[in-house]
Amino acid sequence: MNLTLSIATDVNPRTWPIMDGSVKADGIDFIHTPLNPAEMFWRQLKFGDFDISEMSFSSLIKAIAAGNNMWTGIPVFTTHHFFQNWIVIRKDSGIKKPEDLKGKRVGVPEFQQTAAVWSRGILKHEFGVDQTEMEFFMERLPDVSHGGATGFQAPPGVTVNQIPREKDIGSMLLAGELDATLLYLPHNNLIDRSSADLESHPNFGPLFADTAAEGLRFFRKTKIYPINHGMVIKRKIAEDHPWVVLNILKAFIEANKIANQQRLEHVEYYRASGLISQEAYEALSTPLVEHGIRDNQETLEAITLYSYEQGLTHERVTLEDVFAKSTMDY
């Protein structure tokens, strides 16, 4: 008899084969809920609503460092981004380069969210801009935030202002009350309030004018493709059924192979049609997203370091602290 487990994920090419049943985890029947990530993480951290889910990787690190043993990690990494390219600036704020963020008023949906941790870490290590040199304004309210569920307090030396309920990052940027934001999430969900369309507004744009060039520069230098979400399972389930973790990991590895194959088919179509160069074909044919610890070691070590440096954990957590023991060789 199969074990029935609830699972929540976002919808993307690496989760869809699990969601539509193309790939099954041996011995497990999933009850699948597609969910906005911000809501998903809050519900897991606050209420533990699902047996398995994607999880904000920085919030998982923070929860484990604080002694929360409800969850253990599975090295499945469904989303990656170069988060420094998500930084949005007011063009009339005097910000022309990363160093100009010093002394500026900077929005952030949530201080501890993974995207913000990556952006601050990259600003510090690549451009010499420390988090103590910016004044932060946080949108998410304590009752519906990851930080509220994990006991977030502003790190020493860092100014983090709470945006009042009647305002949001978008409205404050438009009013000139903020100079920039580490990321902008105009989503209709329970957590994020911003709704203004900044993308088409002439006075707003990315910190890096050529985001593709910045992403390529960073990747070539560091070989890091920043992880956003990991996967978690309730620790008790993993302890009661030790086989479950590896079967889930193997299923997501297979789903990722399908996503990669579908990408290759599209790339080959464009190559054969002459619509992309051989250089572009070779770049697009390279799989950047792989599950498992070994293929992501440098990236995982970087995010644990950044979390510690930024005061989100009192000590640097190890990968052995984060992930189920059975996955450490993958």
> Which pLDDT does position 267 carry in this prediction?
86
- Per-residue pLDDT of 87-143, as tens digits, reads 999 999 999 999 999 999 999 999 999 999 999 999 999 999 999 999 999 999 999
> Which pLDDT does position 270 carry in this prediction?
85
* Cα separations in angstroms, 322 against 173, 198, 300, 314: 37, 37, 10, 15
- Give SS3 for 295: helix
> Which pLDDT does position 187 carry in this prediction?
78
> Which pLDDT does position 225 carry in this prediction?
95
pTM value is 0.95
- Return the beta strands (E) in 68-147 as ranges: 71-80, 88-90, 105-108, 135-138
Give yes or no for a contact between 61 and 227, defined as CB atoms under 8 angstroms apart. no
Please tell me the chain's helix, strand, coil percentages from 3-state DSSP, rounded to the nearest 5: 45, 20, 40
CB-CB neighbours of 161 under 10 Å: 12
160 DSSP β-pair partners: 136
Between CA 191 and CA 110 the distance in angstroms is 10
Q: Write the single-letter amino acid at 12.
A: N
Could you tell me the residue ranges of all domains in the chain?
Answer: 3-81+226-259+288-327, 83-222
Give yes or no for a contact between 258 and 251, defined as CB atoms under 8 angstroms apart. no
Q: What is the mean pLDDT of each run of 10 residues along the chain (330 residues)?
A: 96 95 96 95 95 97 93 96 98 98 98 97 98 98 91 95 96 98 90 94 97 94 95 97 97 96 87 85 82 96 98 96 96
Structural fold of domain 83-222 = D-Maltodextrin-Binding Protein; domain 2 (3.40.190)
**Common-topology check for domains 3-81+226-259+288-327 and 83-222:** yes
108 DSSP β-pair partners: 138
- By DSSP bridging, strand 88-90 and strand 71-80 are unpaired
CB-CB neighbours of 328 under 10 Å: 13
- Per-residue pLDDT of 241-250, as tens digits, reads 999 999 999 9
Q: Where are the alpha helices (DSSP H) in 223-330?
A: 235-240, 243-272, 278-284, 297-309, 319-322
Please report how many Cα atoms fall inside a 13 Å half-sphere around the Cα of residue 122, on the Cβ side: 28
Closest CA to 159 of 109, 118, 95, 105: 105
> Which pLDDT does position 15 carry in this prediction?
96
* Cα separations in angstroms, 190 against 35, 115, 207, 320: 11, 19, 28, 33
> Which pLDDT does position 73 carry in this prediction?
98
Between CA 190 and CA 148 the distance in angstroms is 14
9 DSSP β-pair partners: 34
**CATH fit for domain 3-81+226-259+288-327, picks 3.40.190.10, 3.90.1170.40, 3.40.640.10, 2.30.30.100:** 3.40.190.10
Between CA 297 and CA 301 the distance in angstroms is 6
